[in-house]
Amino acid sequence: MTLETVAILTDFVLIFSLSIGIVFLFHKLRIVPIVGYLVTGVIIGPSVIGLVKDQTMIELFAEIGVILLLFTIGIEFSLQELIRSRRTIVMGGGMQVLLTIVVVTLIALAAGQSMGIAIFLGFLVSMSSTAIVLRILSERAEMESPNGRVTISILIFQDLGIILMVLLVPLLAGTAGTSSSAMIFSILKALAIVLLLIVAGRFIVPTVLYHIVRTQNRELFLLGMIVICLGTATLTSMAGLSLAIGAFIIGLIISESEFSHQALSEILPLRDVFNSLFFISIGMLLDLGFVLDNFSIILYVVIIIILIKFMLTMITTVVLKYPIHTAFLVGLSLAQIGEFSFVLSLIGIQHGLLNNDIYQVFLASAILTMIATPFMIQMGPRIEDFITRHGKESDHIRKETIGSKIEKHVVIAGYGINGRNLSSVLSAVKIPFVVVEMNPEIVISEKRKGLPIFYGDASKEDILKLTNISKAKILVVAICDAAHTRMMVKNARKLNPGIYIITRIRYVSELEELYELGADEVIPAEFETSIEIFSRVLSRYLIPKEEIQKNVERVRKDGYEMIRDIYHRPRSLDDLGHHLTNIELETFRVMGGSIADGKTLAELNLRKQWGFTVLAIQRGNDVLNNPDGEDKLLEDDIVVLMGNRERLHDVSSVFAAS
């Protein structure tokens, strides 16, 4: 082993050893690893302690990391999802990027930069960090929240827009004298290569992968994916594009194949290792001495960047007809410079668009905005809540009302899968309800179908009042945003102390606070998922359905009793069954032609024959409590029974249609 090889290995050992310590520390501080890698690069770089001797090798591996990063981002995207969200992606993302480029260009021109450099700086600032923002949104379970959906849509447009920006870099550099016709020819050649990649990705790559998969050789599949990734990157580089763009395009195409999930799982470990080297190499490029000498200028630039991106993203989100508080959260999420800007900046240096001073200011500003991002997103809901409490809801929200006549209805907050299924069932059984949804496209679409739905944020008191919450019987919170769920429960309980509140959550750990805020039923998704899993397992072993159902009921009973015992004190008769051994409260609808139809309670003699007592009868909007033996049951009556849990199935036959 040569001394040169030992030196390279020593560099890598030092890099990864220091990275482990810094990333571990940042993990404790709840800062994403990318920031830790950047800080590692700054520390080991030539401007601080200069540990790394061979930076060329590091940059080579870093380039591979960028290729793999864009390849996996392409795979994680879905072309079908892009088509479904095209309005938000194209209109929202396009407006945000265009506004940012225009504003930054004007500022750069005012500062004395040329048009080409000014536009290029607009390109750099318009990009936000997909890796950081998606990581934080995922950890906070906000991917499906309104602000999460808008944020992701804008990020998708930015990631796709980088392709056009890379194509335009030579043209921008050509403003200094390069032939415009030559630049146009280069763009056409690059577009032809992209088209060739799309065709190959659609018709050739899936066939190749199919034959590789048939060998059932994992190593061969991994090698095949690496060849496809690096090969397309090389092809696009030869066409004048960056290496990473080809990887992104082919990854996007593979995302629609049946091999996408396996490809992603195989590539991820390699991507994470090489990707860390990319961010470390970026940090190594930062001249800390320059930063300290020009700290006031850099701090000023950082503040300007955050304010510009925050305000313009807010404006974009409001134009998409989302409320101010959603726009506020989206603005904070995207108020940083992204990793693609680093890739673009290196291309800009190659074409002479950035000198060292501008590049160092950009690099320091980008790193500082990235470091600030986790803290801004974390503080966002608190700041937004403070502003909301001391201000008024946005004037652009259409103030609709469902009228004062509706009562004893169900208020459904959120029209995702849960809200959609619930509203469908309520419509079928003719129970009045109203839906509150924050996605304007869904509201417009469903309202045309006659659904009682309107646009608004049900965590706000004003919006809850529009649902006539004071006369509602039940509130169902069917969203996955933990912060807004808590606010809905709190405000609904305040406006209607007697309302029954049912809410869903992701994790059992979130139960306690919701019960303390006033929720009556909290359904943890992970608990119900576990039940569905063991049901499917038992089914594959041909266990009878009756036995599976008994186990389901037993697990639910034990699980929810444990949850109530820990977090929830009984509020009403509904919980009586949980405190008396083997006692169950149940409701049955009297079906036409059933044994109970047209008979009095005395004739049925439910207590003697089945061990059940009738507590109440609901007929339309009227409720008869403590009925006597002469009361007759009619078709569509709802009967509330209390009795032996083990005989529930037997007594149900009395009310079923014969």
| φ, ψ at 398 (rounded to 5°) | -75, 120
Q: Do the beta carbons of residue 130 and residue 95 sit within 8 Å?
A: no
Task: Give the other-Cβ count within 10 Å of 634's Cβ.
Answer: 13
pLDDT class of 567 with cuts at 50, 70, 90: very low
pLDDT over 70 percentage in the chain: 83
- pLDDT in the model for residue 582: 61
Asked if pLDDT for residue 235 goes beyond 80, the answer is no
CATH 3.30.70.1450 residue ranges for the chain: 575-655
Question: What is residue 323's three-state secondary structure?
Answer: coil
- The average confidence (pLDDT) of the chain is 79
Using one digit for the tens of pLDDT, what is the confidence trace for 116-171? 899 999 999 999 988 778 777 776 767 767 788 888 889 888 877 887 888 788 77
| Residue 108: both structure tokens together | 């750069």
Q: Do the beta carbons of residue 343 and residue 124 sit within 8 Å?
A: no
CA-closest candidate to residue 453, choices 426, 471, 480: 426
Residues 6 or more apart whose CB falls under 8 angstroms from that of 134 comprise 143, 152, 155
Task: Give the other-Cβ count within 10 Å of 171's Cβ.
Answer: 18
pLDDT class of 275 with cuts at 50, 70, 90: confident
Greatest alpha-carbon span in the chain: 101
* Sign, CA torsion 635/636/637/643: positive
- pLDDT in the model for residue 429: 84
Give the C-alpha separation, 512 to 349, whole Å. 54
Give the C-alpha separation, 73 to 249, whole Å. 10
- pLDDT in the model for residue 54: 61
Task: Give the other-Cβ count within 10 Å of 541's Cβ.
Answer: 7
Mean pLDDT value of segment 538-564? 74
Mean pLDDT value of segment 169-197? 68
C-alpha pair distances (Å), 241 with each of 72, 193, 244, 247, 649: 19, 9, 8, 11, 69
C-alpha pair distances (Å), 432 with each of 77, 407, 437, 574, 591: 39, 8, 17, 22, 21
- pLDDT in the model for residue 51: 75
pLDDT class of 79 with cuts at 50, 70, 90: low
Task: Give the other-Cβ count within 10 Å of 542's Cβ.
Answer: 6
Q: Which residues pair with 617 in a beta bridge?
A: 624, 639
| Residue 52: both structure tokens together | 């790394």
Asked if pLDDT for residue 340 goes beyond 60, the answer is yes
Asked if pLDDT for residue 571 goes beyond 60, the answer is no
Most confident of 141-155, 176-190, 553-567: 141-155
Q: Do the beta carbons of residue 502 and residue 571 sit within 8 Å?
A: no
Mean pLDDT value of segment 191-200? 74
Using one digit for the tens of pLDDT, what is the confidence trace for 89-128? 888 899 999 999 999 999 999 988 888 899 999 999 999 9
Mean pLDDT value of segment 370-397? 66
Using one digit for the tens of pLDDT, what is the confidence trace for 480-498? 777 778 888 988 988 888 8
pLDDT class of 566 with cuts at 50, 70, 90: very low
Task: Look at the block and give the residue holding tokens 């696009």.
Answer: 236
Asked if pLDDT for residue 238 goes beyond 80, the answer is no
Ordered strands of the 622-625 beta sheet: 583-589, 638-644, 612-619, 622-625
Q: What CATH number labels 52-388?
A: 1.20.1530.20
- DSSP E strand stretches across 441-575: 453-455, 474-477, 500-505, 521-524
Q: Which fold has domain 410-569?
A: Rossmann fold (3.40.50)
CATH 1.20.1530.20 residue ranges for the chain: 52-388
Asked if pLDDT for residue 190 goes beyond 70, the answer is no
> 25-34, 424-433, 632-641 — which is least confidently predicted?
25-34
- pLDDT in the model for residue 569: 45
Give the C-alpha separation, 507 to 517, whole Å. 17
CATH 3.40.50.720 residue ranges for the chain: 410-569
Beta strand 474-477 with 500-505: parallel, antiparallel or unpaired? parallel
Q: Which fold has domain 575-655?
A: Alpha-Beta Plaits (3.30.70)
Using one digit for the tens of pLDDT, what is the confidence trace for 391-441? 544 434 444 455 456 888 999 998 888 888 889 888 888 889 999 988 777
Q: Do the beta carbons of residue 462 and residue 494 sit within 8 Å?
A: no
CA-closest candidate to residue 334, choices 607, 150, 172: 150
Mean pLDDT value of segment 498-527? 81
Asked if pLDDT for residue 56 goes beyond 80, the answer is no
C-alpha pair distances (Å), 214 with each of 208, 209, 305, 396: 10, 9, 51, 56
pLDDT over 90 percentage in the chain: 11
Q: CB-based burial of residue 309 (10 Å sphere; 0-12 exposed, 13-18 middle, 19+ buried)?
A: buried
More confident position, 329 or 143: 329
- pLDDT in the model for residue 82: 65
- pLDDT in the model for residue 398: 45
